[in-house]
Structure 1
Amino acid sequence: MVRGREEELAALRAALAAEGGRLIVLKGPVGIGKTALLDETERTLRAAGTRVLPVRMGSGPGGRDDAFGLGPLVRAVRDRFEQFQAAGLAASLNTVARLSDAVGRETGGWAPSLVPALDSLFAGLAQQGRTVVLADDAHAVAEPAPMIAAARRSGCLVLAACDESAEHALGPGELLAAADQVVTLGPVSDDVAESLLRRTPGPRLDEAVPGILRTALGPLFGNPGTLLATLADLRERGRLTPFGGRLCLHAPSEPVELPGDHHLLRRVASLGDLAAHLLTAVSVLDGISVDDLPLLTEMTGSDLTAYGRVLDRMIEAQVLIADPVGRVGCRCPALAASAVGWAANRCDVSLHTLLAEQILARQPDAVDPAVLAGHIAGSGSNVVLDASQVSWLLGLAADDEPERPERAASSYAAALPRLPPSDPQHPPTLTRLVNLVVRTGRHELLRDVLAQYTEQGCARGSLEEVRLAAIMAALHSGEPPADEAVRSLLDAGPTGAEPIGFAQWWFGLPRTPGPVTPYRSRLVPADRMEVLSAALSGDFAACERAWHRSGGAATSRRGLDRLHHAAAMVDTATVMRLVLGDHYRIPTTGVPGVHRRVVRGYNRADWSQAMSAVRELELSYSTDTLAHQAARLLAADMCAARGESRQAAWWLGRVVPSPQPVAMRAWVRIGLFSRAGDHRRAVRLALRAGRRLRRSGPHVGLFLLLIRAVQIAVSIDDRHGAAELLEETELLCRETGTDTQEALLLARGLVHRDVELAESATELTREREDLPSLLDSCLAIARFAEDPRPWLREAHELATRCGASVLLEHIRAVARERGVPAPRVRGRGAQAVTEQRIVELVGEGLTNGQIALRLQLSEKTVENHLTRLFARTGCRSRVELAAVSLGGRLTRD
């Protein structure tokens, strides 16, 4: 709890070294760690032989009625009476105890004999030598000064801790004025905050949790008390769930709230109902300005002056913050989420409705049109608008469309429910809305579109836009439509010419009976839609033809190769971005957004983050999609490369048997056989699967399967198998009418042992940032290159970065075969990766011998790593060490 407080501890040690009576005040917000620092100071002083009297002000019976903190003082001296063998101490203590009772009965009145009694008590405490008084929570009593001043007069050194709010209270404020030194505690650094999170007992935290909490808590992330209390609250609510060997946040896209007893929420409660209403309004409206106060006061029927006074007090208490232009917002998103959670169901809709109705009933021209439009959009369909008002809303949206597309989307979404499908303005409004949703990523706006279609149908010529809305909503939400009318729209693929419909492809659902209407969208050019559909279905020939027709040739051959690789990994977000360009915003949430993080983490050798995203996909989106299957396959591949065979089998067992993604499934299976040492079986499986898929399809991902198999065949010097696989690769290129330059160069270079060709292919792989494929290529090239050392060194660095212990052993085996020294870990950065893996395996309960076997190290090497880790971190046990996140953030030697 005192990590990251080196400066403050040094200041306290220097102050405590001074002789004579002194007062040092330790100031900071609630939860910042003042008590932890006092406890550490007490341990240090006791170890040095100094007598310490810790007094917890405001504790025990009496509370704030004990205005001078006499009760806690009496209890503290009694608890440590034997340490102070001073004559007359008992009599002085009894006098103070009687005064404590008397002052309590007088409800805080002043007792004339209080000062001499305190002087006598502290003089007795100090007569045997140096004494330090630690007064925690000095702000918790109304008048702490008499006791603390008496201790200082007697020659005691006093260290008093108080909240930053003490400067606004008369009694505690005297301490700050009289202090010889004030030490202020600010927030801890992000690294220290994360280390506190990972030291909590229980399963190891998923890598994504600290980032989610950092976003939710904002400036409070550096407050240890708030941080750990929020984590404990998430556990208690069941939001933290053990899954896949980690403690993961269930539904991480949902808001994180502050604990119910957090001091900011208590402060709001102490200010009354008006403060609670104001906080809710600020949270729902995502901030308010001074101009909004009259409307809010009308809603509550309160006085504007009283409302302003409460607003000032909430800003003073740092519940709300004001920016330079006068807009007021919540201190952090978690506080806003707590405020919204207080309110009744659909509070956001009712608040927007009331504000919109009040503005429309008064002077709408005096209010910013965008503000009014925002309230109308937030009200759903509750606010009744006449035809002129709907036209005004559409005009505002059209004006916003070029520069403010997100605001325009909200306005169109607000106008659309107020336009019946028969209205001439309905089809163009729907077209513009769906186009803006694709452009901005605000897929939640499509729910009302689909609900209106279910209830009222759509106008002639609008079916394509509704179908696109259904596809985009289902793709990003990961949920199939509940309504059969909407579900039937998904039975056609993106262009209406695919062998299977979207629902079959994405969810594995059967078609619904009935005819399927071909798809022809006005939003996206037909050739672009054809590229999209052909890429995702693996029809390479159609994809390339459409790519060139759409102008994709201008982006070079590499753009098409990237498209094929993204489709092979079911990375739909990247596929759509490559095809649609700026017309499509890559989402950060939703199934495509999370799966894209899986793929990027895998390709960039950031496997810890990739595994975190796999777990997020499993816990946040319950319905199985094609992205779920692909993510599980990647998880199995990563676990196998790390030597975690049981975990790999567990992930592979979660893959649902389906026609998609069949090539990727075979790609992973041959990888698992190879990691387990059964290389020849992997090559045989690849040949069978490759031939079958080449003849019958689907072809998506087949190039990756064949290239991995070529790499394996070359690595075991299976020249016949490698030649057959090269033949399959060339046949696939001819039969599909495509030319994946990287795959052909690599296959020919490896099979013909042409280092120059293979090196050209690896440059393309580096450019594409597919580091696992680069690793396998380097390992294969090292088998026949004249000088294998550069290839082995690069493979070793990549395998270390991935934590791929199985591949590290393969690299050492190739080094022995080629008669060159095995590459070694270079620098602390690479060593930290090994240490991180050791800590992770310690957290899984493995012994040193089991860790050595898993990481292909000697048991002595594991013991040496652990010895250095214990010394560097200060951990005293394997359990404590397992709670520490290394991740390159350990103190350097």
Structure 2
Amino acid sequence: MPTPTHQRNAALIGRRDELREIETTLGRAGSAGRLLIVHGDPGVGKTTLARAALRAVEHAGTEALVIRLHPAAHGDPGLDAVVDQVCDTLVEETSNNTLALVTAVRRRQAQKARDRQYHLPVMLETQRAVREAAGPRPVIVLLDNANVVAERDLGALGALLYGLRSDGACVVVSGWMPMGCPGPVSTLAAAADQVVEVAPLSAEETAELARQQLGWPPAPELVAVLRRDLGRLFGNPRAVLLALSALGERGQLAVTDGRMCPTRPEDIVPLPGFHAELQRVWQPMAEHQPAGVDGNFPGEVLAVLTRMTAAAETTVDDFLDLALDVGSRPEHLGRVLDILVALRLVTVDDRRRLACPVPSLGTEMFREERDIARLHAKVVLNARQRVGGNAGALAPRLADHALAAGSELAIGVSRELLLAAARCGGPDDTSRAMRACLALLRQLRLDDERLPGILRTAIASMLHHGDADGLLDLGDRLLPRLADLMPGVQGVLQELASAWALAAFHNQWLGTHVIDGDTPAARTAMRVPQAAALLTLAARVRADPDPPHAGPPVAPAPRLPEGPGGSPAGMPAAHLLARRIPSAPETRLLIRALGPRAEPGAARSGGARRRTVDGPVPANHAELHAALAIGDWATSWEMVLGDRCVRFLDSPLHGYQALVREYLGGSWDAALKAARAIVTDPAANSHGPLFVHSRSIASDICRWRGDPQRAATWLAGVSAGAEGGPLLCWARLGVRQARGEVAEAWRRGWQDFRSLRAEGHLIGAERLLFRVVECAVRAGDGRAALDALEALEELDAAVGSRLVRATTLLARAHARNEVTCALDAYGPLVRYGGRELAFVASMWLLRATGAEEWLLEAWKWSEGMSSRPARRRLVDLAQEKGLHLPRRRRDRSAFTRLELKVIEMVVAGRTNRQISVALARSEKSVEAYLAKIFERTGCRTRVELAKAWLDGGLKRYVPN
């Protein structure tokens, strides 16, 4: 972990306009009195901004008397603390009859202590002392956290601040103005000369803040995790810095690809200490609470409520019924809830359901987990009491509370709720039904007549939600136990075995669940043909020498009685099974696609669909091999099955398929993000194929972007002895080529190919051989290029895919300078080879023909690749051929938040002056924003801008 770089301006990111406005106001001190209000959420950086503006003014040479005030500096948020701070400053910073002036103020304080009617005289005396002690020096007053001022003191404090302003002082008040809830800052702002809002940072500004804090740029996935768990506090500098520090201290950050990545993105980001920030806001709100009630900020209540709402639906009534259990009273707890809603830390929907939009605040727990379970149990018991003990009248949502309560709730009550939830088959209830079924499967005996229907519902729900880990755990636990039971239960055994095998196939690649033929679950699954085919495919891809041994097949058993909806009686509807498990013939087709590794002739096929003893083969082998676009098997899965198969969206296999798809399509930032997610997984196996392949693809992306050092770093993460196949050798050859080691590159690449061929690796070797041909031609070794071309032609004869054929034609064009071959290769390479090969082919054709059409094609592919070296090569070649380059597309980055506000006000017909008042910006700032908007959109007038906005012509500029 690098040492964070704490730069002075880190807290000022995104605050340029606000800082300029405060500096301008402070610069007028002495010439004209000003009262400026700086407001924003707690932790957003109001105090830091005011202090930075003061430093800038002092640096400019302004010699002012600066009085810093904090209403709660000494623990007592009263006026005495303010007066004491003024007196201390006068004694330390002035010498103009200071002792006599301070003595007069102290005398007034003594009178106020005996009679509160002297509040105002104390403030007037304090104002006179400041005016006379300052003399000709300008006065600057900074009042921080004004929101903690008590209402009883607000009038006297206002008199002091307004009086100082009338004397020519510049007064800057910072604090929080709650939405829909009047407070001290709102009252002071009513007569302020200017109000500056310090808004949360944008996503880009938050990323820059994280970069300066961590010393490394944050990966997009880290920013996404912060956005997810900080909720409305995302963009709050204090919250972001606390969260990043906590992640670093817990070892949950790692540097990959020069980016700081989260190692456990599924965990909630901790936010220790932010309750202290909120406590300062809570104090004035709790001023009028009933006597005897604790008025401190209810951090415990918020943390408990966050945990409860994350586990189960919790309504307002559920929450208020827990008043005595959390040590409060219903009326006080209701006020707490109102204030938490005002703080936007709790939301209430139209069904009175509570939600906590900042999940991180639940990580600070002030109670034990057992106490939280007891509260969940109390919610169920209170609801049961309201319906007179009628279990059938309880809402199914209470099943989640029963699950969270665990042993704190009687087993009979819990089971009634779980059975009711398991029977709810609506689209909105599938997650709850799945959780209820899994809990019941742990409670019911295996001979219970309800178990088959519950098990089938659980399998369907987990397949519907893509819960691979849940299926693996369920299969490990139940498959061996179901194998010897009655036929009614064995009927579900086939579905469980197939689903378990599919989940294992998706999740095994990073070591999360390695297929082992000796486990009881694997032995049972191998007796089911559909599951056995999947396990064989998993073993083949892992290059295991012996796939799990298949036992005697399980005989088909009678199905369970079904209800009118086509589902087991009393269980959810069958819409959950819309996506299915691949059949044994489909899986065997995928197995044959890997045949060239161990069976060189098995993968060749004769065109059209065939019929086997297992049924029709759904796709021919030529189409299948065309899907093997980058030399591995991952993309063939989607080609054969399409959208008909279950997708485990969080599985390593699905992430790798997304990586391949984004790489071939040219979305290289998204591809690198997918690669980082795979290799930073805590369960990642550095020898696994997904780990090695992901790093290889990421390395080639960085090479194309002109960063060979970064590309080499990706490959350096591959463990020694890892079996990466042709893809790893292809990436290593590319790194050597980028370093200028062209002769060495083709020699090492040729050696790698011969080693791979001896081991039986054929699929994917065409990319390696083509790169060998390319390097040999560039090194001027025609003999080596022809040898590699000959090997590529032999590979084409053995594999027979359209991609290998097109790659061979392009290599022949390079080695023998045959334009016709390059023309024949171009179309298939565009469809199957990805953006990189399409660019290489169009560049070769441009060099060979000098035609402008190939310049346009190469330009199109280079724009998608975002590669500076590729663009430079293209520009040099175009100049060599005397061709004019196309005009580069203008930058169409998204509008910022302020720009969107400006556009909306223009559409509403507001003038620049009205916009500047609404946004608390100068008219020149508004004019600058409009100029940028006009330049980006091409609009020339406000009318054109409004028309383009209303017609939807500016949608591409609006951030998602």
Q: For this structure pair, what is the TM-score category when the shorter chain's length is used for normalisation?
A: 0.7 to 0.9
Distance 1:552 1:778 in 2: 40
Q: Which residue of 2 aligns with 1:437?
A: 462
Aligned with residue 254 of structure 1, among 259, 264, 267: 267
Question: Structure 2 vs 1, CA of residues 827 and 394 (structure 1 numbering), >3 Å: closer, same or farther?
Answer: closer
**Cα 1:408–1:74 shift into 2, 3 Å:** same
> Bigger shift: 784-793 or 140-149?
784-793
Q: Please say if 1:37 is aligned against 2:68.
A: no
What secondary structure sits across from 2:143 in the alignment? Answer: strand
CA gap 1:511/1:554 in 2 versus in 1, 3 angstroms: closer
Q: Distance in 1 between matches of 2:784 and 2:555?
A: 46
- SS of the aligned residue for 1:186 comes to coil
Matching residue of 2:690: 627
Any idea what the Cα deviations from partners look like across 1:314-347, whole Å, max 9, x if unmatched?
A: 21233212234433211323234x25x5553588
Deviation per CA, 1:18-71: give whole Å up to 9, x if none.
964443322221122212331343245442737352413136435425545122
**2 CA distance for matches of 1:707 and 1:518?**
46
| Deviation larger for 750-759 or 218-227 | 750-759
* 1:628, distance to aligned residue in structure 2 (A): 1.0
8 Å Cα contact 1:22/1:158 also seen in 2 = yes
Distance 1:661 1:169, change over 3 A: same
Task: Report the equivalent of 2:763.
Answer: 700
Residue 727 of structure 1 deviates from its aligned partner by 4.5
Residue of structure 2 equivalent to 1:592: 653
1:255 is displaced (CA, Å) by 1.3
2:126 to 115, 118, 131: 118
Q: Given that residues 779 and 791 in structure 1 are in contact (C-alpha distance below 8 angstroms), is that contact kept between their aligned partners in structure 2?
A: yes
Residues 154 and 751 (structure 1), Cα distance of their counterparts in 2 relative to 1, 3 Å cut: same
Kept after mapping to 2: 8 A contact 1:50/1:131: no
Choose from 210, 216, 232 the match for 2:223.
210
Distance 1:280 1:135, change over 3 A: closer
Name the residue aligned to 1:888: none
**1:122-158: CA deviation from partner (whole Å, max 9, x where unpaired):** 3225651653323222234433324313312423232
1:834 aligned partner: none
- Indicate conservation of the 8 Å contact 2:312/2:400, yes or no: no
CA deviation map 1:84-113 (0-9, x unaligned) = xxx43453244336666x589779995574
Corresponding residue for residue 139 of structure 1: 147
Other-structure match for 2:582:
524
Residue correspondence of structure 1 range 376-415 to structure 2 within 5 A: 384=411, 392-393=419-420, 396=423, 399-400=425-426, 405-415=430-440
Query: Residue 61 of structure 1 is aligned with which of 74, 92, 102?
Result: 74
Verify the 8 A CA contact 1:520 1:526 in the aligned structure 2: no
- 1:71 aligns to what SS in structure 2? helix
Q: Partners of 1:309 and 1:474 in 2: how far apart?
A: 53
* Equivalent position amino acid for 2:587 in 1: M
Question: What's the counterpart of residue 344 of structure 1?
Answer: 368
Output the CA distance in 1 between the equivalents of 2:786 and 2:370: 65
Contact kept in structure 1, 2:71 and 2:148, CA below 8 Å: yes
Q: 1:637 aligns with which of 687, 700, 708?
A: 700
Q: In the alignment, does 2:173 pair up with 1:160?
A: yes
Answer whether contact 1:535 1:563 (CA < 8 A) is retained. no
Q: CA deviation at 1:634?
A: 2.6
Distance 1:22 1:626, change over 3 A: same
Q: Match of 1:770, SS? A: helix
Corresponding position: 1:732 with 2:795:
yes
CA distance in structure 1 between the partners assigned to 2:92 and 2:887 by the alignment: 56
Distance 1:502 1:180 in 2: 71
What residue identity is the alignment partner of 1:620?
D
Question: What displacement does 1:627 show?
Answer: 0.9
Matching of residue 151 in structure 1 with residue 164 in structure 2: yes
Higher mean alpha-carbon deviation, 406-415 vs 22-31, is at: 406-415
Structure 1 runs not aligned, ≥5 long: 832-893
After TM superposition, the structure 1 = structure 2 runs for residues 811-830 of structure 1, keeping only pairs within 5 Å, are none
Show the 5 A alignment for 1:833-872: none
Question: 1:485 maps to which residue?
Answer: 519
CA–CA separation in structure 2 for the residues paired with 1:562 and 1:372: 51
- The alignment partner of 1:465 has SS state of helix
Give the direction of change, closer, same or farther, for the CA distance of 1:190–1:203 in structure 2 (3 Å limit).
closer
Which of 444, 447, 450 is residue 475 of structure 2 equivalent to?
A: 450
For residue 4 of structure 1, report the CA deviation from its aligned partner. Answer: 3.5
Indicate the residue corresponding to 1:872 in structure 2.
none
Q: Does 1:666 align with 2:729?
A: yes
Q: Is the 8 A contact 1:26 1:183 kept in 2?
A: yes
Pair 1:125–1:826, CA change in 2 (3 A) = farther
1:365 to 365, 387, 392: 392
Amino acid at match of 1:250: T
Whether 1:502 aligns to 2:538 is yes
Provide the residue aligned with 2:850 in structure 1. 786
AA aligned to 1:124 is: E
Contact 1:495/1:530 (<8 A) preserved: no
Amino acid aligned to 1:634:
I
Q: Which amino acid aligns with 1:332?
A: V
Any idea what SS the aligned residue of 1:199 has? helix
Q: Which residue number in structure 1 is paired with residue 339 of structure 2?
A: 313
Between stretches 653-662 and 26-35, larger displacement belongs to 653-662
Structure 1 residue 285, shift from structure 2 partner = 3.0
Change (3 A) 1:690 1:433: farther
SS in 1 for 2:629: helix
C-alpha change, 1:372 and 1:582, in structure 2 (3 Å) is farther
Give distance in 2, aligned partners of 1:181 and 1:500: 73
Match of 1:96 in 2: 105
1:633/1:664 contact within 8 Å kept: yes
Distance of 2:430 and 2:609 partners within structure 1:
30
Aligned position for 1:775:
839
Question: What does 1:159-308 correspond to in 2, within 5 Å?
Answer: 159-165=172-178, 174-200=187-213, 202-243=215-256, 245-263=258-276, 266=279, 270-272=296-298, 275-276=301-302, 278-285=304-311, 287-293=313-319, 296=322, 304-308=330-334
SS at match of 1:677: coil
Identity of aligned residues (%): 23
- Output the TM-score relative to the length of structure 1: 0.76
Q: How large is the Cα RMSD of the aligned pairs?
A: 4.9
Secondary structure at 2:196's aligned position in 1?
strand
Change (3 A) 1:513 1:176: closer
Secondary structure of 1:132's match?
strand
Change (3 A) 1:770 1:286: farther
- 1:23 maps to what in 2? 35
Find out whether 1:475 has 2:506 as its counterpart: yes
SS at match of 2:627: helix
Matched pairs, number: 815
Does the alignment pair 1:655 with 2:718?
yes
Unaligned runs of 5+ in 2: 1-10, 283-294, 557-579, 894-960
Cα distance, 1:468–1:553 mapped onto 2, change above 3 Å: closer
Does structure 1 residue 582 correspond to structure 2 residue 643?
yes
Contact 1:226 1:262 (C-alpha < 8 Å) held by counterparts: no
3-state DSSP of counterpart to 1:200: helix
* TM-fit CA distance, 1:444: 3.6
Structure 1 residues 45 and 311 mapped into 2: Cα distance closer, same or farther (>3 Å)?
Answer: same
Task: Encode CA deviations 1:225-279: one digit per residue, 9 max, x unaligned.
Answer: 2223322332333333345544332212211122324446647893448724752
- Which amino acid counterpart does residue 585 of structure 2 have in structure 1? D
| TM-score, reference length from structure 2 | 0.71
